[in-house]
Amino acid sequence: MDLPLTPLEFARRSRKLHAHREAVVDGTTRFTYEQFFERCDRWSAVLQQRLGVKQGDRVAVIGPNTHAMLEAFYAIPQLGAVLVPVNYRLHANDFAYMLEHSGACVVCVHANHLEAVDSIRDRIPAVKHFVAFEGARPGWLDYETALQAGAAEFHRPVVSEDDLLTINYTSGTTSRPKGVMLTHRNAWINSIGTLLHQPLSMADRYLWTLPMFHVNGWSYVWTVTAAGATHVCLGKVDASNIFEQVREQNITVLCAAPTVLIMMANAPAGLRRNAPPGVRVITGGAPPAPATIERLEHELAWQVRHVYGLTETAPFILMCDSRPEDANLNATARASIKARQGVELLTSGELLVVDSAGSEVPHDAQTLGEIIVRGNSVMKGYYRDPAATAQALRDGWFHTGDAAVVHADGYVEIRDRFKDVIISGGENVSSIEVERTLLHHPDVVEAAVVGVTDEKWGETPHAFVVLRTGSEPSRVGLREFCRERLAHFKVPSQFSFVTDLPKTATGKIQKFVLRGSSSAIHRQ
């Protein structure tokens, strides 16, 4: 009998082989693999026998990176139910939409968000049971009490690899978020591909700096378990906590969006001092700046690996594999290459960069095209949204909307989202290229560039810049800095100094907000 490709197999194997190995660290709480999976079984039994969850039902979770959140990624799928990880940084109105749209029958919530969910109960009638991971109040079932009260016995249904594993909602920066349907096969493929290109071992200790809700923690909720490594939970992500955990818990690997990389690279010297070398960092979610990579690798001796993907691709489809010849380059050139999105993972399927006619662009590092993908990592579709599914999945390919070039060596490099490309005097300006240039300036911590209407050129770049505390570079100075490094039509016509940049809950810069600010400034 064939076994389905499912991350539940990783749990079975690690429980068998690593029963007494440390699986989870959450503050002072520690579980071996046997203890961890017994807890998962107990929660499965509660869901099935007490709360009536059946195969195919949706169960939502809202909370930070705790052991209870991690348990949900096993306890719910092994019932054949569908996990809905909700971004806890959103507003109660967003919770209401996602819980209603997914049809969740149970919602499990961290103490920080009980009040928000209580405020929308009348808008989510399909939710029959409310579970508090901690801090239970009237009307809520206490997670730990329920888990400890029952036996670890439940009916384990047959799961197909094409069954839904999770529904993950996109950030919805310009419209209603879409529910991405990922299957057991999607997750298995992503985990195996990750382990092939970025190996983990039983000796590794993984720090949960990346939210588990974000595309299932980029599937590391299962990948770490597959390796028999240790999950180290981190409830609050800030530079102080990260460096403390890296030192105290002997962390060897972590994942982080570029905004978190910037935070770590620019942390006070006192925090970065004595940080152990050799930590492997996987970054993605937005193109990282070469200057940030260079600083982490040079000053901390950490190893940064760049990956590319989307929620719709489970998520990894490209990884910037290092080549032997890159070792001969200087640090700046090496960081520039590492900032590319890279090449296909062995398991992810086929990726092309195509022009508007659907033909593959030449590998000249200049010709812009759209990234399209097909293969085993691509989603099943958008939940309850056939129109959006048909628009994204056309002619057997998933169309990403990302604008990229391909280098002669086959490495793909994103230049922008197509909607963010600035057309100035008929020339395409990559906002990412301008942002990366600004981030090489020693006084610039963050930068975002958008197009602003110009009567002569159609559009010109407008830069929003976060400066290092205590620095005072002039707009003229920044403009000259850019003119020395960029074609003149790419140099921002305007600079705005801001204290922070608007971001989504997953750390992506909300450029539509900045465009509105640019328009207002331009009209003044």
Question: pLDDT of 383-415, one tens digit each?
Answer: 999 999 999 999 999 999 999 999 999 999 988
**Block residue for tokens 């992500």:** 237
8-15+28-182 and 237-417 have identical folds: yes
37-46 pLDDT, tens digit per residue, is: 999 999 999 9
Pick the CATH number of 8-15+28-182 from 3.40.50.970, 3.40.449.10, 3.40.50.12780, 3.50.50.60: 3.40.50.12780
Is the pLDDT at 375 greater than 70? The verdict is yes
Average pLDDT over residues 4-28: 98
418: which DSSP letter?
G
The DSSP secondary structure of 253-296, one letter per residue, reads: EEEE-HHHHHHHHTS-HHHHTTPPTT-EEEE-SSPPPHHHHHHH
Domain 237-417 has CATH 3.40.50.12780: yes
**Residue with the larger pLDDT of the pair 455 and 14:** 14
Is the pLDDT at 521 greater than 70? The verdict is no
pLDDT-based confidence at residue 180 (cuts at 50, 70, 90): very high
d(CA 433, CA 166): 35
Residues 6+ apart with CB under 8 A from 460: 422, 424, 451, 452, 454, 492, 493, 494
- Nearest in space to 193 (alpha carbons), one of 35, 308, 37, 94: 308
87-131 pLDDT, tens digit per residue, is: 998 889 899 999 999 999 999 999 999 999 999 999 999 999 999
% the chain with pLDDT above 90 = 69
Predicted pLDDT of residue 520:
52
Half-sphere exposure of 280 (CA within 13 A, CB side): 14
Q: Which of 258-262, 334-338, 517-521 has the lowest mean pLDDT?
A: 517-521
65-86 pLDDT, tens digit per residue, is: 999 999 999 999 999 999 999 9
pLDDT-based confidence at residue 274 (cuts at 50, 70, 90): confident
Neighbours of 22 (CB within 10 A): 19
Predicted pLDDT of residue 524:
44
d(CA 208, CA 66): 9
Helix (H) / strand (E) element for 144: namely: helix 143-149
189-229 pLDDT, tens digit per residue, is: 999 999 999 999 999 999 999 999 999 999 999 999 999 99
Mean pLDDT, rounded, of the chain: 92
Amino acid, single-letter form, for residue 392: A
Predicted pLDDT of residue 518:
62
20-30 pLDDT, tens digit per residue, is: 999 999 999 99
Is the pLDDT at 35 greater than 80? The verdict is yes
- Structure-block tokens of residue 521: 């400034």
Most confident range, picked from 99-113, 162-176, 264-278: 99-113
Predicted pLDDT of residue 523:
45
Fold annotation for 421-523: GMP Synthetase; Chain A, domain 3 (3.30.300)
Domain ranges in the chain are 8-15+28-182, 237-417, 421-523
